Amino acid sequence: MNTSTQTKNITFSQSEGLRSFFGKIYSKMAIGVLITAIVSFALVYTSAGNQLLSFIFQSQIIYYGIIGIQLALLFGVQWGINKLSKQQALGLFYVYSAVTGLTLSSILIIYTGSTLISTFIAAVAIFAALATIGKNMKYDMSGWRVFLYTGMWGVFVASIANIFLASSRLDWIVTILAVLVFAGLTVYDAQSYKRLYLQSEQGTDLDKMITLGALHMYINFIMIFVNLLKIVGGRE
């Protein structure tokens, strides 16, 4: 039976298992988002947090060092998933979520509270719709992998380059592309993890794959949210 047939013909027990599998992915992702929100809120809306932010962003060495730690955690979970225990993988994901909250606070601090809340709600709605489409889509998106990942790295490289170029036009283009790319990745990842579950053997320990799925979906959501913020505006 080929992959596309597997994803179309699902037994009742597989359907129940798949629902539980995605439930675990999204619950861990939600905890990651909550950790990020708590850290960002504490830094933006408390005096101690503001002092810490000032200390961090006054030194480029400290700031870029934190970004380096964030990237190391990200790649550490993805590339080391087979060597890590499931507790270690999940712990690193939550640490990554906390560090992301720290780096995101430099962006969130410039927006009004009402803009943050409305954009967050919109991002949740968009993400949920895209993830549902990906989980139920009959069209096989595996051929889109190279295109989407190339787009993701293109957005990353262009964002780094624009730190030095400071081009408002390039920033706008990158923002629009980022929303489109990570929207596509949300659909792609939802279908990919559905395929992984259906191809796994009955009784297989999928905890590591659940953590990896939570990480990928977390990144997709955060990127959609942040870039929607840039589009919506509402700065203080």
- Average pLDDT of the chain to the nearest whole number: 87
pLDDT score, position 58: 83
7-38 residue pLDDT tens = 445 565 568 888 999 999 999 999 999 999 99
- The residues, any chain, with a CB within 8 Å of residue 133's CB and separated by 6 or more, are 187, 190
Give the pair of three-digit tokens for residue 147. 């295109």
Report the predicted TM-score, pTM, of the whole model to 2 decimal places.
0.89
Please write the tens of the pLDDT for every residue from 127-180: 999 999 999 998 999 899 999 999 999 999 998 888 788 888 898 999 999 999
Residue 6 has what pLDDT? 45
* 16 CA to centre of own chain: 25
pLDDT at 193 over 50: yes
| Per-residue pLDDT tens digits for 48-77 | 888 888 888 787 788 888 888 988 998 888
Model pLDDT, residue 7: 46
| CA separation for the pair 99, 78 (Å, rounded) | 16
Q: Residue 150: which of 173, 191, 180 has the closest Cα?
A: 180
15 or 188, higher pLDDT:
188
Question: Which amino acid is present at 86?
Answer: K
Contact in structure between 217 and 26 (CB atoms under 8 Å): yes
**Nearest alpha-carbon partner for 213 in 25, 32, 33:** 25
